[in-house]
Amino acid sequence: MTDNDQQERTSVDTGTAQHHGGCHCGAVRYQVHGDIEDATLCHCHLCAKLHGHVSAYASVNKDELQLTADEGLRWYRLSEKTDRGFCKECGSALFWRVVRSKNIALTPGTLDGPSGIKTKSQIFCAFKGDYYPLDTSIPAFDHDD
Ligand SMILES: [Zn+2]
Ligand SMILES: [Zn+2]
């Protein structure tokens, strides 16, 4: 009986997840039980330091993001309002969240398989690195508007 209950719960969990993802080493794994918004690329200096290059974020509803492994997850406080989730074992950048927001952004590169989303905009283009060109097919903004 207990085994059956466990199996049922597990199949329900994976059955309703529309997306799966995680870090490189597997110490952080997540599921998304809803839609993922199209991604925004950020060219700012902070993201360059954190990600080593331009970053990409895609927003999901906090309630629809389920962590299935979080032993590697650490939160790095960026400011009083935002922090960034990463894996302390392999260093993968996974999440970015704003305090009291109903959304959380994930890095779409950590999704398993095709994301099914597009890139809707790129921001802080005025601050981009000088070593790569801008993709002019993506709507570009100098700041975060
Ligand atoms: Zn990891
Ligand atoms: Zn940025």
pLDDT tens-digit readout, 18-33: 999 999 999 999 999 9
Judged against a pLDDT cut of 60, whether residue 8 lies above it is answered with: no
Q: Cα(145)–Cα(143) distance, rounded to whole angstroms?
A: 6
Is-contact 103 60, C-beta < 8 A? yes
Residue 62 has pLDDT above 80, yes or no: yes
Cα 41 to middle of ligand 1, angstroms: 22
What's the Cα-to-Cα distance from 103 to each of 36, 96, 138, 139, rounded to whole Å?
10, 10, 23, 23
3-state helix, strand, coil in the chain (%, to 5): 20, 35, 45
Instruction: Give the confidence band of 143 by pLDDT, cuts at 50, 70, 90.
Output: confident
Average of per-residue pLDDT values in the chain = 91
Q: Report the separation in Å between the CA atom of 71 and the middle of ligand 1, taken as the mean of its atom positions.
A: 9
Ligand nearest to the CA of 22: 1
Residue 81 — pLDDT band, cuts 50, 70, 90? very high
Q: Which two tokens stand for residue 50?
A: 């954190």
Q: Percent of the chain at pLDDT above 70? A: 89
Region 68-81: mean pLDDT is 95
Residue 70 alpha carbon to ligand 1 centre in Å: 9
Domains of the chain plus CATH, in order, are: 19-127 (2.170.150.70)
Q: How far is the CA of 59 from the centre of ligand 1 (A)?
A: 21
Residue 126 has pLDDT above 80, yes or no: yes
- Provide the CA 87 distance to its chain's centre, in angstroms: 12
Ligand 2 center from residue 53 Cα (angstroms): 10
